[in-house]
Amino acid sequence: MGKNWAISIGINKYEFLQPLKYANRDAQLMREFLVKEAGFEQVLFFSDDSPDYKGLQTRPFFANLKKVLRTMFEKPLMADGDNFWFFFSGHGMPHNGCDYLMACDSDPGDVEHTAISINYVTERLRRCGADNVVLILDACRGGQGSKSGEGIGNQSAEVARQKGVITFFSCSPNELSYELDDLQQGAFTKAFLDGLGIQGQCATVERLNHYLSGRLPELLRQHKSEKVRQTPYVIAEPVTKCHLILCPRYATFTDVATIKNDAFSAEVHKDFDLAEQLWIRVLAASSGDMDAIKALKRIAIAQHQRSSEDRAKTDQSPQPAPHNSTPIEPDVPLKSERRVDYTKLRDLLATGKWKEADKETANKMLEVAARTSEGWLREEDIDQFPCEDLRTIDQLWVKYSKGLFGFSVQKRIYQSLGGTREYARKIWEAFCDRVGWRVNSEWREYNDLKFNTKAPEGHLPAGGGGAAPPSLASRLVDCNI
């Protein structure tokens, strides 16, 4: 089990800005949840009246906050599989294109020298060594309102993307972050803790994001006004971070299986560092998982082989491969909820027979749905298509095409164009243009498609059962593929 550490900051009393009501309480409740419910070993707490910690002041003055960020992360203190969370409830402010968190004594007339930039916070947090860093900001993002004068802008979002930090914003750009007098809490923090707790039981970033999008508007309607708008905003890039487990106690079999799928894909693409991180995550959520244990052994061997090859190249004296050594390639488990045999599909893909494999994919999907005689899938067939079978088909395509083809590849492209569960003709056509099913606004016949690795990314599979978006998009989302 990895380390779990956090910093929780809440500021009500500002020397130069309007006071807040419940930021202190939000930070205290966050600290209590992380310690008592999430099992965090250490949570540093900063608020207007927080007690000293090991002889050090924990009032949220600029000097105190800057010092802990500067000194705590001079050397890595965590490792892969560990988690570090940073929660802040208070005022934020943009200045000269950068976003800052305002300490209790920060001067809005001298932001650069008295406030802490988001860039500095994320840079220091990334030094901790944990591969999972979570930033939670309950602060306004523009306009005039009760939470912040100007609010933090879009620069924070860009920093989160660049640094690979999972970031939860309490609201979207140009929105305010509201406090609820009835509950004596910030609306976002209340929804966030509900989502992680027994009410929401959201184990993953993706599930928590979905929960927040419904729970936060509900709280505002109940305790504020139906006219008030506050839309939570989450950044988790690359997409594998959406699948990371925040609360192992509520993790389901599907949650763990999704991380396994991501880890397996990373192995296939020989991104062994990422694969190792993800398999460690699997062990953290499912202690003793044999798939993870075997995978970590495979990765260790593969990394040793790569290191030996690199040394040989550097010495300009390549060494012969050890006797009986073979490349370590993880096999795709041919799992099927309906006991369908995917051996032929695997063999066709392994030998690069893309057109035959595409037709076999369509046939197998019809077999799974018991629609072979009809020759086509209905919408209800897709809605009920077994996740295990979809995952097997996708993994086979991803592996043998080296990430060029597969349902998950198509889904990623579709969503990057703005595609959702709802059909939109313009987005669908843009997707078809991107993957090469449409050229110069003309639809290509099946036999005119490119059944080779010179085809565009996501070009296959294309036959029979249909491509991921839009017909399979919602099912792929449901199955976390």
Strands 233-235 and 83-89 turn out to be: unpaired
Distance of CA 197 to the CA centre of its chain: 19
Over the range 322-357, which residues count as b (16 or more CB within 10 Å of their CB) and which as e?
A: eeeeeebebebeeebeeebebeebbebbeeeebbbb
Structural domain ending residue among the three candidates 228, 250, 272: 250
pLDDT at 311: 62
pLDDT at 179: 95
Would you place residue 312 in the very low, low, confident or very high pLDDT band (cuts 50, 70, 90)? low
Query: Does 434 have pLDDT greater than 80?
Result: yes
Same domain, yes or no: 109 and 236: yes
What secondary structure does DSSP assign to 440-465, as a single string? TTEEPPGGGS--STTSPTT----STT
Residue 472 has φ and ψ, to the nearest 5°, of -110, 0
Q: Report how far residue 214's alpha carbon sits from residue 232's, in angstroms, rounded to the nearest whole number.
A: 10
334 found inside a domain: no
Contacts 24+ apart (CB under 8 A), 440-445: none
Lowest mean pLDDT among 122-131, 139-148, 216-225, 338-347: 139-148
Quote the domain boundaries for residue 374. Answer: 343-478
321 found inside a domain: no
Query: Does 323 have pLDDT greater than 50?
Result: no
Total domains in the chain come to 3
Q: Report how far residue 40's alpha carbon sits from residue 82's, in angstroms, rounded to the nearest whole number.
A: 11
Same domain, yes or no: 267 and 233: no
Same domain, yes or no: 226 and 358: no
Q: What's the CATH number where 58 sits?
A: 3.40.50.1460
332 found inside a domain: no
Please report, rounded to a whole number, the percentage of residues in the chain having pLDDT higher than 70.
90
Which residue carries 């929804």 as its tokens?
A: 191
333 found inside a domain: no
- Size of the chain in residues: 481
Would you place residue 467 in the very low, low, confident or very high pLDDT band (cuts 50, 70, 90)? very low
pLDDT in tens, 204-223: 999 999 999 999 999 999 99
Q: Report how far residue 49's alpha carbon sits from residue 63's, in angstroms, rounded to the nearest whole number.
A: 16
Both tokens of residue 342? Answer: 């995917």
Would you place residue 106 in the very low, low, confident or very high pLDDT band (cuts 50, 70, 90)? very high
Same domain, yes or no: 294 and 372: no
CB 186, CB 180: distance < 8 Å: yes
pLDDT in tens, 164-199: 889 999 988 778 899 999 999 999 999 999 999 999
Query: Does 283 have pLDDT greater than 70?
Result: yes
Q: Report how far residue 455's alpha carbon sits from residue 449's, in angstroms, rounded to the nearest whole number.
A: 8
Same domain, yes or no: 268 and 162: no
Query: Does 150 have pLDDT greater than 60?
Result: no
Same domain, yes or no: 144 and 8: yes
pLDDT in tens, 349-382: 999 999 999 999 989 998 999 988 877 788 788 8
Mean pLDDT across the chain, nearest whole number?
A: 85
Phi-psi region of 237 (alpha: psi -120 to 50; beta: other; left: phi over 0): beta
Same domain, yes or no: 297 and 425: no
Q: Report how far residue 169's alpha carbon sits from residue 152's, in angstroms, rounded to the nearest whole number.
A: 10
84 found inside a domain: yes
Q: 465: exposed, middle or buried (C-beta count within 10 Å: 0-12, 13-18, 19+)?
A: buried
pLDDT in tens, 14-71: 999 999 999 999 999 999 999 999 989 999 999 999 988 877 889 999 999 999 999 9
Same domain, yes or no: 43 and 106: yes
Please report, rounded to a whole number, the percentage of residues in the chain having pLDDT higher than 90.
40
Same domain, yes or no: 298 and 353: no
Same domain, yes or no: 80 and 150: yes
Same domain, yes or no: 298 and 419: no
Would you place residue 470 in the very low, low, confident or very high pLDDT band (cuts 50, 70, 90)? low
258 found inside a domain: no
pLDDT at 314: 55
Same domain, yes or no: 232 and 280: no
Q: Residue 184 to residues 23, 180, 306, 377: CA-CA distances in angstroms? A: 9, 6, 56, 52
